[in-house]
Amino acid sequence: MTASLSRSGQPKHRKPFPTHIIVFLAPALAVYGLFMIYPLFDSLRLGFFVQETRGVERFVGTENYVTLITDEAILQPRLLNALKNSFLFFAVNMLVQNPIALLLAAALSTKTRGGLLYRVLIFSPAILSLAIAAFVWRLLLSPLWGVVYDILKTLGLGAYAQPWLGLESTALITLALISAWQYLGIPMMLYFATLISIPNDLFEAAYVDGATDWQIFWRIKLPLLMPMIGIISLLTYIGNFNAFDVIFALKGADAGPNYASDTMMTFFYRTFFGSGFQKADPHMGAAVAGTMFVILLAGVLLYLFIRRRIRSYEL
């Protein structure tokens, strides 16, 4: 109040040009614009060009995209395979990591002795690099060392022991599970944060009326968790559709065996930089990135569409 009084007491003068706002915004806008926004859109542009001679580019419209979809020798089968694998990679994470994270968060959100310690330990793999965590699992799963197989044998499941990372049928799922294992703590913490922010009186009344923990979880907490489930699904989608590190670290750019673990990002990397069986083509790489851009955007729009449809409860 005093502030506005004393300010209005001053003689009126024209507001000076707000240089300070520009000073505050300029550094971030410069770096973000130049090294993020510009490359993203320029990459999209490059997808519509081809290299003629050194340094000369020619606009070809959608030719790269058409080749990508119709080239039956290499690109089309690789693209379809990578698309399928990317969705599978996402699905495994969504169906395994998400429910377990929710279950753990639900357990931890009730009064638990040592709750912080559990959270610290379960979250700990998430701070490691995926390439490192992947290698840890490669050693554990190695038939040579046999640690995981020892454990399976002790549990009486020895018959199921197979070199999962090496088999065409199981390589991708194993890699997806490694990634799900590593990042379990992130959705767990997000669910946990949402659950402990629900005020107690919301379900104390239900307790008095004789509702069980289980009923309270399904009828009260889960509906309140819906927005967070949506956000985590979206984050899982964005994060896993671009899965690269775990695959590249263990399987290299060719994402073997026989491209069984090839995702969109490894496919993008190979198209861009080339590999033993594919020559490097930045413009085709840009087209692959453009395709991924569209698929990601479609996922985001689907999320926004569903979120508008679903009733959400505000606390």
Partner 1 sequence: MARNADAVKYRLRNYKSDLDLRHLATKILKHWMLIMFAFLSTAPVALVVLNSFKARRAIFRNPYHLPNAATFDVVGYETVFEKSQFHVYYFNSLFVTLTALALILLFGTMVAFALAEYSFPGNNLLRLFFLLGIIIPIRLGSVSLLRLIVSLDLIGTLWALIVVYIAGGLPLAVFILTQFMSQVPSELKDAARVDGASEYRVFWLILPIIRPATGTVSAISIIPMWNDLWFPLVLAPGEATRTVTLGAQQFMGQFSNDWNALLAALSLSSVPVLIIYFISSKQLLQGLTAGAIKN
Q: How far is CA 94 from the centre of its chain?
A: 10
HSE-up of 3 (CA within 13 Å, CB side)?
Answer: 0
Q: Are 141 and 166 in contact (CB under 8 A)?
A: no
Q: Judged by CB under 8 A, how many residues of this single chain contact partner 1?
A: 90
CB of 148 to partner 1, least distance (A): 9
180 near partner 1 (CB under 8 A)? no
CB of 259 to partner 1, least distance (A): 19
164 near partner 1 (CB under 8 A)? no
- Concatenating the DSSP letter of every residue in 146-204 gives -HHHHHHHHTT-GGG---TTTSTTTHHHHHHHHHHHHTTHHHHHHHHHHHHTS-THHHH
3-class DSSP state of 278: strand
Applying CB under 8 A, among 51, 88, 123, 170 the residue interacting with partner 1 is 123
171 near partner 1 (CB under 8 A)? no
The residue behind tokens 């998430």 is 126
β-strand partners of 275: 278
CB of 204 to partner 1, least distance (A): 16
Q: Are 257 and 166 in contact (CB under 8 A)?
A: yes
Stretch that binds partner 1, among 154-162, 169-177, 217-225, 243-251 (CB under 8 A): 243-251
128 near partner 1 (CB under 8 A)? yes
Burial of 14 (0-12, 13-18, 19+ CB in 10 A): exposed
Q: Which of 101, 135, 109, 112 is nearest to 229 (CA)?
A: 101
Instruction: Choose between 132 and 205: whose C-beta lies nearer to partner 1.
Output: 132
258 near partner 1 (CB under 8 A)? no
39 near partner 1 (CB under 8 A)? yes
Provide the greatest CA pair distance for the chain: 89
Residues 54-83 that bind partner 1 (CB under 8 A): none
Applying CB under 8 A, among 90, 137, 259, 267 the residue interacting with partner 1 is 137
Stretch that binds partner 1, among 52-60, 89-97, 112-120, 158-166 (CB under 8 A): 112-120
Stretch that binds partner 1, among 77-85, 158-166, 168-176, 186-194 (CB under 8 A): 186-194
Applying CB under 8 A, among 60, 69, 88, 126 the residue interacting with partner 1 is 126
β-strand partners of 50: 58
176 near partner 1 (CB under 8 A)? no
167 near partner 1 (CB under 8 A)? no
Instruction: Choose between 130 and 173: whose C-beta lies nearer to partner 1.
Output: 130
Residues 206-225 that bind partner 1 (CB under 8 A): 213
140 near partner 1 (CB under 8 A)? yes
- Concatenating the DSSP letter of every residue in 38-68 gives HHHHHHHHHTTEEE-STT-EEE-TTHHHHHH
Applying CB under 8 A, among 100, 152, 220, 229 the residue interacting with partner 1 is 100
Exposure pattern of 102-120 as b/e (b: 16+ CB <10 Å)? bebbbebbeeeeeeeeebe
